[in-house]
Structure 1
């Protein structure tokens, strides 16, 4: 998989415009094709890369897939909150339970407000606003 991704990056970096393929699907230089009289079809290298990635199960043009993938990467890399690009809304009951839990944690003196907010997946400023209200 890693090699496929590296290959995709290299393909996109080296091809600034279209690539040209013969009827058999082989890449060919446009000048060479014209000199030899070989008909070619222009192909956007991005489309070619997307097809290769999708064949391997990586649907980079599917927003939901990318959200799930980014969440997975975040969780693996230590983002314990599992945040995605979507905002989470908390009910009043959930806020009250979180604030009650904070009172218990605060009494132990083992965590900062910022660490607690990160742990529960709430922005620090949002958590502070809850404490003030």
Structure 2
């Protein structure tokens, strides 16, 4: 499990934005695909990581599971269970990057706004407000 988590972290750190896959599922550089005339699909590396973690029983996109897991870790480590949550504040640059990533995903047509917002960890209405921005 530890190796899986370390691998997931490494996959997310080394990837900037989307990776591109051919119809056969092979990763390919976007410029190489364009030069060779190969059709590609943009894939968010988070999707691959989430699938691997869920296959191992870690449902980190499920808020209830994550809350239960955090409570378990807190109880094991001897800490008290605090029901506090900090709101994440995004800079204008981060918001712009997220919106540009959404435009790429929207062009590919394979995800809803709600699913995208959930995937990046923001509320749907917050995301909609950013798009209206």
Task: Please classify the TM superposition score into its range, dividing by the shorter chain length.
Answer: 0.5 to 0.7
Confirm whether residue 22 of structure 1 aligns to residue 22 of structure 2. Answer: yes
Structure 1 residue 10 and structure 2 residue 10: aligned?
A: yes
**Higher RCO (CA < 8 A, seq sep 6+):** 2
User: What number of residue pairs does the alignment pair up?
Assistant: 84
Give the ranges of 4+ consecutive aligned residues of structure 1 lying more than 3 Å apart after TM superposition: none
- What SS does the corresponding residue of 2:57 show, helix, strand or coil? coil
Give the structure 1 partner of residue 73 of structure 2.
73
Q: For each residue in 1:7-45, what CA deviation from the matched residue of structure 2 results, as whole angstroms up to 9, or x when unmatched?
A: 111111111111001111111111111222221100111
1:59 paired to 2:59? yes
SS class of match (2:16): coil
Unmatched runs of 5 consecutive residues or more in structure 1: 87-133
Residue 85 of structure 1 and its aligned partner are, at CA, apart by: 2.0
The residue aligned with 1:85 is 83
Q: Deviations over 1:54-73 (max 9, x none)?
A: 11111111111001110111
TM-score normalised by structure 1 residue count = 0.58
TM-score by length of 2: 0.58
SS in 2 for 1:38: coil
Query: Greater Rg, structure 1 or structure 2?
Result: 1
Q: Please give the secondary structure, in 2, of the residue aligned with 1:9.
A: helix
Name the structure 2 match of 1:42: 42
Shift of the alpha carbon at 1:84? 4.5
Contact 1:70–1:84 under 8 Å retained in 2: no
Q: Is the 8 A contact 1:67 1:85 kept in 2?
A: no
The match for 2:110 is none
Question: Helix, strand or coil: the match of 1:72?
Answer: helix
Cα distance in 1 for partners of 2:2, 2:41 equals 29
Distance 2:68 2:82 in 1: 8
Tell me the C-alpha RMSD between the 2 structures: 1.5
